[in-house]
Structure 1
Amino acid sequence: MTRTEFDDLVRKLGRRLYGIAYRMLKNQEGSEDAVQEVMVKLWKMNARLSGYESVEALATTMTKNHCIDIIRKQKHFVNSDQGPLSIFSNDEPSPQEKMERTESFLAIRSIIDELPEPYRNVIYLRDIEEKEYDEIAESTGQNINTIRVNLSRARKMVRDEYKKFYNESGRNKTTA
């Protein structure tokens, strides 16, 4: 792969890889660094890239794996840096908060499971599996605009049903 071809690849994949990294790391600077490191690794593999069927798939996998490594290192650093006062830290959610999060997660998952097929499928692929629109289009045979519309409708359905659940559970009763 020539330098020009590699530059074209970087332009083509840069935003997509950044999006993946940002969703995983939730940090702009860290995401930019992660993508840059993946691109450096790809350039070092330049001679072997022709052996891969899809350099895009390779770059996507490398980005995800690199972000997972970063997250693991951050967790290890946080865990090893805790001192004797860490047991008094308020960072840990209370049992009540944990229960509410679990309840919310289960409610949302149940709502998604009850959606009509095209909506359930697209919200699962995009929001749970974190697939890109073009990957969803390829696996479902739908065009990207249809996927976007179905995803928007699915999210609205989940939001509306969750509001009903939330109000019925007694945590947020409104007085009218």
Structure 2
Amino acid sequence: MEYNDDNHLLERVKAGDKNAFEQTFRKFYRKLRIYAFTFVKDNDNAEEIVQNVFCKIWERRDQLRLEGSLQSLLYRSVYNESLSLIRHQKVKTTFHAYQTRQMENTELDLGHQILATELNRHIQSAIAELPEQCRTIFQMSRFDRLKYQQIADALNISIKTVENQMGKALKIMRVKLVEFLPLIILLYLI
């Protein structure tokens, strides 16, 4: 049986008439799919949106309100479903971008840690090769963060000796770590 009046068609759908539902689907499907496409710019998504709208209408047919026209109900439903899909896609895209950044940062952090560990091992090796007094003064200056005068007082030596020993230590360290200069620069630029 064919229904000509959209309101009568909607009443029949609400009553569970499968023929009325099928007629509604055939009558509006193509126009609704084109309408959905204007939002989502993808045929598959447009088809899915329209199918979802019709599925929801059938599943909730007993809750349908007979306010307005059937056509406006369908277009409003497709509009809302399209916006919902667009929001969902934006959330997925945002999450994917976030996840990608997190993975890249984790890889950078891990690479940074490996490089830092390697550099630290070479620095410790170079420090261990310094003459004893030179090594002591270097460690007090760089690790304990003492000023030259404090080091001189603690070791009971002149400040000039501290300056000379620090100069010697830095010169030896530069020579021993010259091949790691690009690594040092890389670690501090990342």
Per the normalisation by structure 1, the TM-score is 0.46
**Larger RCO, structure (CA 8 Å, separation 6 or more):** 2
Question: Relative to total residues, which structure has the larger helix share, 1 or 2?
Answer: 2
Per the normalisation by structure 2, the TM-score is 0.42
Larger radius of gyration: 2
